């Protein structure tokens, strides 16, 4: 689009040209009726062209204002959408905390959390949550949403928590095919943030693409029946088990608001297991 300096130069040239034409027409104005007719017709043509040019110039200079108004309206709509998304996510988290079984393994406690930093492009990704020990976060707390598992807390300070995300080969989740199917470890596929692999599924178990994968409940970190994703494919490993590809419902790399879940009975369970092992 021409710059304003070029527009002004075009206007000046057009004005000079029109003045010269008008002067030439005045010189011929006494040449008879026929000439006057053609002169009048040409003059009206120039007027029409000049009017069209000025209107185009006015439209050009009004574009900046129109673009600014559109930008402001776009920002307003984006803010409305962001607020709606946040409210919907918080409603989902509240619903999850109120409906989740509190007796599947020990007794779970829930609190809202906010991710303030997350790595996405490494083989061992991590995140930092803006809640720490003063808010009740402890190591080995799970991090979830209503649509999946995000990670596990490794360490805490007074106001922050450091966690390994699901996009980390050190993190695996005990998962189940369907409501009553086979159970195996679910891990990141190492390729995309929304991809996972459900491993060690015996060959006798039947499943098909589209089946839902849930948390099994056989964990001291995550409660049962959190929907994790859908089966997309499989392959047989060493002729003995299935390795199942899963598309996650919740992309672990694109979330901000989460729920931190803590099994308050975990320490007692671990002490019992340790005592039995030492016998």
Percentage of residues in the chain with pLDDT exceeding 90?
42
The per-residue pLDDT for range 11-58, each reduced to its tens digit, is 666 666 666 666 665 655 555 545 555 555 555 555 555 555 555 555
State the CATH class of domain 108-265.
mainly beta
Domains of the chain by residue range = 4-73, 108-265
Nearest to 252 by CA among 224, 218, 229, 222: 229
Q: Which residue has the tokens 């190492």?
A: 190
Confidence grade of residue 265 (pLDDT, cut at 50, 70, 90)? confident
> For residue 258, what is the DSSP state?
E
Distance CA 184, CA 233 (A): 16
For the chain, report the end-to-end CA distance as a whole number of angstroms. Answer: 84
What's the token pair of residue 194? 């929304």
Residue 184 confidence (pLDDT): 96
Please state which of the ranges 84-93, 172-181, 257-266 shows the lowest mean pLDDT.
84-93
Using alpha carbons, select from 169, 186, 168 the residue that is nearest to residue 227. Answer: 186
| Stronger pLDDT, 3 or 169, i.e. the higher one | 169
- Helices 4-27 & 33-99, crossing angle to 10 degrees? 160
Structure tokens at 269: 């369970």
User: Checking DSSP bridges between strand 172-177 and strand 126-129, what pairing results, if any?
Assistant: unpaired
Non-local CB neighbours of 60 within 8 Å, separated by 6+ positions: 1, 7
CA distance 193 to 96: 23
For residue 104, what pLDDT is reported?
A: 36
Burial class (CB in 10 A: 0-12, 13-18, 19+), 259: buried
pLDDT in tens, 96-123: 555 544 333 447 889 999 999 999 888 8
pLDDT tens digits, 207-216 = 999 999 999 9
Backbone phi and psi for residue 33, each to the nearest 5 degrees, phi listed first: -65, -40
- According to the model, what pLDDT value does residue 249 have? 95
Tell me, rounded to whole angstroms, the distance of Cα 45 from its chain centroid. Answer: 57
pTM over 0.75: no
Place of tokens 């997350």: 118
Which pairing describes strands 148-156 and 227-237: parallel, antiparallel, or unpaired?
unpaired
Q: Where are the alpha helices (DSSP H) in the chain?
A: 4-27, 33-99, 266-277
């Amino acid at each position: 689009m021409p710059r304003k300096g070029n527009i002004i130069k075009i206007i000046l040239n057009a004005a000079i040209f029109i003045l010269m034409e008008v002067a030439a027409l005045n010189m011929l104005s006494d040449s008879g009726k026929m000439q006057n007719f053609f002169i009048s017709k040409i003059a009206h043509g120039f007027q029409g062209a000049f009017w069209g040019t000025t209107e185009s110039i006015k439209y050009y200079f009004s574009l900046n204002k129109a673009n600014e108004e559109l930008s402001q309206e776009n920002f307003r709509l984006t803010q409305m959408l962001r607020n709606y998304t946040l409210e919907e996510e918080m409603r989902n988290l509240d619903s999850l905390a109120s409906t989740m079984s509190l007796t599947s393994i020990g007794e779970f406690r829930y609190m809202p959390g906010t991710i303030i930093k997350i790595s996405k492009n490494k083989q061992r990704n991590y995140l930092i949550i803006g809640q720490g020990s003063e808010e009740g976060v402890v190591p080995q707390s799970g991090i979830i949403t209503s649509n999946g598992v995000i990670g596990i807390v490794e360490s805490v300070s007074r106001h922050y928590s450091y966690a390994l995300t699901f996009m980390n080969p050190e993190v695996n989740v005990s998962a189940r095919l369907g409501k009553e199917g086979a159970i195996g470890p679910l891990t990141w596929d190492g390729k995309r943030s929304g991809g996972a692999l459900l491993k060690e599924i015996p060959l006798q178990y039947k499943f098909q693409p589209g089946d839902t994968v849930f948390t099994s409940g056989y964990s001291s970190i995550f409660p049962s029946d959190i929907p994790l994703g859908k089966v997309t494919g499989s392959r047989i490993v060493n002729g003995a088990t299935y390795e199942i590809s899963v598309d996650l419902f919740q992309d672990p790399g694109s979330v901000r608001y989460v729920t931190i879940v803590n099994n308050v009975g975990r320490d007692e369970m671990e002490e019992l297991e340790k005592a039995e092992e030492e016998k």
